[in-house]
Amino acid sequence: MKNLVVLTGAGISAESGLKTFRDSDGLWEGYNIEDVATPQAWQRNPELVQNFYNMRRKAVLEAKPNVAHYALARLEEKFNVTIITQNIDDLHERAGSNNVLHLHGIITRSQSDKDAALTYPIEGWELKMGEVCELGSQLRAHVVWFGEDVPMIEKAIPLCTDADLFILTGTSLAVYPAAGLIHYASPVIKKYIIDPKIPSNRLTNVVNINAKASIGIPRLVDELMN
């Protein structure tokens, strides 16, 4: 089987009703990113940050995968598929994808605020202040905040290097280091970019599909499966 790598961003989740901060001048559901998505915000007001991610988690659990998520899952019938996602939701998994690498964490898990490697499943949508890890440290959302390292990038790079096909969808290629992953793909392999606004790039062997994920991905999947 050929190795197929898919890099997904917020655009694919937005079609399931999950809003992104880049849709509204740096605000995420009415909050400044600096107030809810940085280590400094957690230090200043952990209750606010915890409640913010509780609301995001609730929204994720209420959301449903869309046709783009389901279409990507179909690719596993013919390819060795790895989905590398910048998204913190679990919609790819719920649609049936079996090999998903979350660059920025996943909101349905918690982590120790002392050791990010200690993660735990969350029952339901609410993570409360006072819930602690095995080290006795407060649990927070398992999400990479601005200013924190992205440890999963080291696992993602060789996957991109070994790809035989590459699909990019739902991302503006503006958030690094994730945006740099496509440049690790071999210049000789075919790369598909699916987005209503194709991000500027200097890539070779690119097929641009000017459409939102729910339209462009099923179309491309049908083509690749034949």
By residue count, the chain amounts to 226
Q: For the segment 146-196, what is each residue's pLDDT rounded down to a tens digit?
A: 999 999 999 999 999 999 999 999 987 766 787 789 999 999 999 999 999
Q: Give me the catalytic one of 102, 104, 142, 183.
A: 104
Q: Domain spans of the chain?
A: 1-17+65-104+149-226, 19-62+108-143
Instruction: Identify the pLDDT of residue 203.
Output: 83
DSSP 8-class letter at 184: G
- Quick one: tokens of 131? 């819930």
Angle at 9 between CA 5 and CA 10, to 5 degrees: 155
The CATH code for residues 1-17+65-104+149-226 is 3.40.50.1220
Q: Are 218 and 209 in contact (CB under 8 A)?
A: no
- Matching residue, tokens 């929204």: 59
Largest pairwise CA distance in the chain: 54
The reply to whether 19-62+108-143 shares the fold of 1-17+65-104+149-226 is: no
Q: Reply yes or no on whether the pLDDT at 71 is more than 80.
A: yes
Among the listed residues 13, 116, 94, the one whose alpha carbon sits nearest the alpha carbon of residue 56: 13
**CATH of 19-62+108-143 among 3.30.70.120, 3.30.1600.10, 2.40.37.10, 3.90.950.10:** 3.30.1600.10
In angstroms and rounded to an integer, the radius of gyration of the C-alpha atoms of the chain is: 18
Respond yes or no: is residue 104 known to be catalytic: yes
pTM for the model: 0.93
Q: What does the mean pLDDT of the chain come to?
A: 93
Q: Reply yes or no on whether the pLDDT at 216 is more than 90.
A: yes
